Chains A and B, each alone.
Chain A
């Protein structure tokens, strides 16, 4: 589909060491509210299902498109903001990557969450336009009614077995 790669030689980084999640002990109140935190959202986006770069077999984490630091979580306000960094500043896949991030969070987080997705300041030639589109509720809803786009998103969100 993409005849020429937008970024033919991306820098690939090591994956981050994961913290070990403690299993809840038997006497813990299983109905206790467990706040969602930054590492958890990062895990949702990068570990539990590797979101792949649409044009490379690497995960967004390996390409440093998303890092844990770029995820802001406010559980009390039910708010998440993800700032991602496209590998090249004219990356035409930026809106797709952003849509994948949003869809993944929509499917994983409780519905009370408000989600903002943006590209890192200065990281994209059409930063304002990309951000505007990624956060327009109608554009996002309409995109998710488009079978071709949904297929593309699902492909990015498919677990990697590599």
Chain B
């Protein structure tokens, strides 16, 4: 597998590009910049088609496209800024459509006002006390999570004011007032919360990573109350990014991990990368079958303890980075993992199933950590399949990379 630079998006911002997000179905890339703007580039021509500005007073640290499908009338982008606020922006897809009039105008150097004004500020989400570091939409776009230096994770619910009307039918620009409600403020972290990531299929579950070196897993219970149900404890530096294992492949020829103790029981794994130069894979310990109550059903106060989950470090990826690892992503298509670090390096890893757990050598990552009961040995190993050095500097243009087999 080789990675090569595909293109540089132009014109680039002279300020730091903090974060880029590819659009879920259109060939667009949003790039959050310390110049308080978000730049939207075409991924066919690699040119700037829109600059979102005027909403934030400080660096835009992050952005996230609301999930959607081809044919949607509009695109929704959430932004998170060091000014402690999050913004929701909307664009009529007809005005950003690639190959459409707006883009052609840019390519031909004509007046691009149409594209420039494509994104309209819809709503500002205020509540955090200090810099927002990360924002993420749940898999169906019903919830937005934000996290901040104020040590909290907030969950916002997009309220639909027109019940019964599917989003697909709202192309006529009706009066769809935007309204977001805070459904949870999660405060267990003891340091800046650097990242949030939703479960790939469950809108009632998300993970976060923090300056306190911890990964935390949060769930909504049957009463709609959110709480921390598990921790990934082990990193010896800031956890910069977490990512969930994508939904299991529908292809039956692809082996599921760990056989009967695999995904079906413990759910998708979480991968995290850190200032401590490690990339760690976390797995939930399968729950013992709950004993059926013999008497009358116990009151719900008992239930809370059964909500607790044990997450353990399943394995570590080969160490390739020489400086802090800032980002990790898990491909839905190839199921490979990619990391990017302060050392300017991009590394791609691939999981390889090893023979059954029986003849595996005992796990000795920590030395003192013995064989915990119910803690299966990893039956896979990760190989580095590609590396690219000097891919990025501290500041610089937004680059796109091409990966081929």
Contact = CB atoms under 8 A, between A and B. Distances in A.
Interface string A129-147: 0001001111101100100
Given A114-B323, A132-B237, 17 more contacts: A111-B393, A111-B394, A114-B394, A135-B275, A136-B192, A136-B238, A138-B149, A138-B192, A138-B194, A141-B16, A141-B34, A141-B59, A142-B58, A142-B82, A142-B149, A145-B58, A145-B82
Contacts of B61: 138
Contact of B393 (A112, A141, A142): A112
B38 to A, nearest CB: 17
Interface of A: 111-112, 114, 132, 135-139, 141-142, 145
Contacts of A141: 16, 34, 59, 82
Nearest to B131: A142
23 contacts: A111-B393, A112-B393, A112-B394, A114-B323, A114-B342, A114-B394, A132-B237, A135-B324, A136-B192, A136-B211, A136-B238, A137-B326, A137-B342, A138-B61, A138-B194, A139-B192, A141-B16, A141-B34, A142-B58, A142-B82, A142-B130, A142-B131, A145-B58
Interface in B192-247: 192, 194, 211, 237-238
Interface residues of B, number: 24
B59 A132 contact: no
A111 B238 contact: no
Contacts of B131: 138, 142
Interface string B115-131: 00000000000000011
Nearest to A110: B393
Contacts of A137: 324, 326, 342
Interface of B is mostly: loop
B194 A111 contact: no
A77 to B, nearest CB: 9
A132 B324 CA distance: 12
Contacts of A138: 61, 131, 133, 149, 192, 194
Contacts of A112: 393-394
Contacts of B59: 141-142, 145
B18 to A, nearest CB: 8
A6 B326 CA distance: 36
Interface in B357-400: 393-395
Contacts of A145: 58-59, 82
Interface string B321-362: 001101000000000000000110000000000000000000
**Which 9 A-B residue pairs are closest in the complex by CB-CB distance?**
A142-B131, A145-B58, A142-B82, A111-B394, A145-B82, A111-B393, A112-B393, A111-B395, A145-B59
Contacts of A136: 192, 211, 238
Contacts of B238: 132, 136
A136 to B, nearest CB: 7
Interface string B95-131: 0000000000000000000000000000000000011
A104 to B, nearest CB: 16
Contacts of A114: 323, 342-343, 394
A132 B237 CA distance: 8
Contacts of B323: 114
A112 B16 CA distance: 13
A146 B363 CA distance: 47
A112 B192 CA distance: 27
Contacts of B324: 135, 137
A111 B192 CA distance: 27
Nearest to A113: B394
Nearest to B238: A136
Contacts of A111: 393-395
